[in-house]
Structures are given as structure tokens and as C-alpha cells.
């Protein structure tokens, strides 16, 4: 998204707005997994940032936080076919982590804010190359 927006801010991007998921920063996930490995928990454990969004909402939030000019419109999954089938709802809940008092996640928006604060300039360099 960033590379597309930086490369041509006037080009209108179509982004799916009917698929919901739980965005998660890999750094936050890594920290959570390290903590989980020290606990005595077995079975299936979901580990994801708090909250959920559509791809459209997430893309807008990210680009707005980056301070990048862009043109974007929401579209349906049917309008944006891909070879891979994507579920309409892939929202996860950290119930096992919360029940065990191990949940360290913040909202996906807070993660994007931190990510951009820490990496904005490098992201722009990479997007422009």
C-alpha cells in the first residue's frame, strides 16, 4: 500500500472493505510468544493485537499515520478477485491468554502508531526505491 501510494498518489487504490481481521505487528507477536513459551499452557492459543478492522480501514489508518497523500476507495471481495480465497471474518480473540493473565497486546492502531513512529523514514526510503 505504501509503495503504491508513494509511487502514484493520484491513482485510486481499491481496497477490500468486507473482510475483517485482527492485524498484528510481528514484534508484538514475538514478545507475546516469548512470554507464552515460559507459561505452562498447551493447546490452541490465539495471539493477536486487540480489535479488528477491514483491509480498507487498516490501509487508511496506516497511510494517514504515515502522513502520505493517497486516493482510495473501498470495494467488495467480489470486485477484487485473488487466487487465494480469503474468509470474510478472520477475527481472533486472545481468550486463553487473557484467562491466564498473559495477554500483552494493545490495539492494532497503537501498534501502527508505534511502528510508524519507529520506522517511518526507513519505510519511506524503501517505498521510494
The range of the structural domain enclosing residue 74 comes to: 2-80+87-128
What lies within 8 Å, CB to CB, of 67 at 6+ separation is 120
Q: Please, what is the end-to-end C-alpha distance for the chain in angstroms?
A: 14
What CATH number is associated with residue 67?
3.40.50.720
pTM summary value: 0.91
C-alpha cell at 14: 481499491
What lies within 8 Å, CB to CB, of 103 at 6+ separation is 32, 94, 97
The answer to whether the CB of 94 falls within 8 A of the CB of 47 is: yes
Sign, CA torsion 65/70/76/77: negative
The domain tally of the chain equals 1
Q: How confident is the model at residue 57 (pLDDT cuts 50, 70, 90)?
A: very high
pLDDT tens-digit map of 2-44? 999 999 989 999 999 999 999 999 999 999 999 999 998 989 9
Amino acid at each position: 500500500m505504501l509503495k503504491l501510494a508513494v509511487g502514484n498518489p493520484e491513482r485510486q487504490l481499491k481496497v477490500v472493505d468486507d473482510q475483517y481481521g485482527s492485524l498484528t505487528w510481528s514484534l508484538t507477536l514475538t514478545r507475546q510468544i516469548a512470554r507464552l513459551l515460559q507459561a505452562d499452557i498447551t493447546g490452541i492459543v490465539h495471539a493477536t493485537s486487540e480489535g479488528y478492522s477491514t483491509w480498507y480501514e487498516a490501509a487508511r489508518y496506516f497511510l494517514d499515520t504515515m502522513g502520505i497523500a493517497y486516493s482510495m476507495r473501498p470495494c467488495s471481495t467480489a470486485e477484487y478477485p485473488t487466487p487465494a480465497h480469503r474468509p470474510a471474518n478472520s477475527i481472533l480473540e486472545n481468550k486463553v491468554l487473557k484467562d491466564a493473565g498473559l495477554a500483552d497486546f494493545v490495539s492494532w492502531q497503537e501498534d501502527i502508531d508505534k511502528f510508524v513512529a519507529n520506522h517511518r523514514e526507513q519505510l519511506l526510503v524503501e517505498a521510494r526505491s
